Structure 1
Amino acid sequence: MVKLSKRLQTIAGYVPEGARLADIGSDHALLPVYLAERGRVSFAVAGEINAGPLAAADKQVKLAGLGSVVSVRQGDGLAVIGPGEADVVTIAGMGGSLIATILEEGSAKLAGVRKLVLQPNVAEDQVRRWLTAHDWVLEDETIVEEDGKYYEVLSAVRHPEPLHANAELYRPRPLEGCGMLESDELVRFGPYLTLRPNDVFFRKWASEADKLDRIAEGMARGGTEAAAQRRKEFEAERDRIKEVMRCLQKAKPSSSS
């Protein structure tokens, strides 16, 4: 049976029992094959645009003897499924901007979909913004570390009152010693991740602050007025990240283990 990485295992955990799954950018079809082998999905589409990964996915499905359950298809984004064919969509391993574009361009295919499980490699905030703008509500999110990289997995669902639910989810929160955690900051850091921050979360943001520090140092050598202004902006962003992390650690010391 197929074994999954920690990242894919986390995504699999959000797929409900009996789902009709569309895994977009499926690569080797590891996720749908894993779920099908365990009887977790009734049907799955492994969608891939590139010929190499498509062939690898087809081989994986045939080796597992799951051709009647997992359909391997070539196509761009959600073009691989028909309206109402899937009720759960997973998209993982690409940038947040690309994920948002795939969802936007394939929005007509989402009519019968009840859950989205999304794992952007970067720009998670762009995914959260797309979800909110299109009346999806984040139900949960998890951060995992694997091979020195950090991955956020976002699970979003339909909601009877999405505007109210999202307004509550991203409502500014008081953060002891840091003033308010504003809506834009909740979009950036994650509304659930900031409620239960763990060691992986803190390591990710320490790494992000370090990156900004290195960028600011490079700007200091630029010598122009514009470079100096940009350096101040990067330094302010770095300082705010450090401040938020410090206050979250202080407020929830028992949750960072």
Structure 2
Amino acid sequence: MKLLRYGPAGQEKPGVLDAQGRVRDLSGVLTDIAGHALLPESIARLQALDLEELPLVPGVPQADLRLGPCVGQIGKFICIGLNYSDHAAETGMAVPPEPVVFNKWTSAIVGPDDDVEIPRGSQKTDWEVELGVVIGRGGRYISEADAMSHVAGYCVVNDVSEREYQIERSGTWDKGKGCDTFGPTGPWLVTADEVADPQNLRLWLKVDGKTFQDGTTATMVYGVPFLVHYLSQFMSLQPGDVISTGTPPGVGMGQKPPVYLRPGQVMELGIEGLGQQRQRTKAA
């Protein structure tokens, strides 16, 4: 099942993609794709619906029908750094002995095709296609063996990053990761039952038609079950939290010489089975 949120920014309604690629309205069933609506029993109720009986929403998704972030009211947007060994190598950093954890502020979250703003004064804004993991059943001290039962589904995330702010400005990575519009999420949340193996998905990203990233989640250092387990040792995971799991090689910082985003460019990115995003960059 592909759950989504559609409509103007800040006024999104819950929806679902039907077998013909059309959006069906879920407003009569739930208020939002958020929180308790992502619990296993809630997902099971949605999967029991006859989608053909739900109201059809006019428009083509991601064409003349805007899609918002696929999860609403996100409480925590947790990110993992250097989680692909080949990406760590291109940045000149060592593979970490434990996952590198940082945050995106929730004000960074935008829809999959919304504009991405280059911060004022930025010279090193970069791209990162990533697998997003959405928590369904919350918990603390989750065992690795039980971790997948806490996953509601998966989505595409563009972990947009300002490298100067992240690396050169002292302190934590967060200041270069959480700028407004730096968290395009969606187009939809694909429920876990439709993803046979989250460690066997192709990820790709293009800038102005040129492919920069083309990798696979098979090369993750720390896989999805371990990350859910690991993070739950330090915080309670709650329904609707999003974990962005790291990026394969091909980021701008890793090019020789480095290549960074400018206003007026177009990023296109996607993950096998999870959909695609398209963002235009503009000056903040």
Q: TM-score, normalised by structure 1?
A: 0.25
Looking at both structures, which has the greater relative contact order when contacts are Cα pairs under 8 Å and sequence separation is at least 6?
2
- Larger % of helix: which? 1
| Higher strand proportion | 2
Calculate the TM-score normalised by the size of structure 2.
0.24
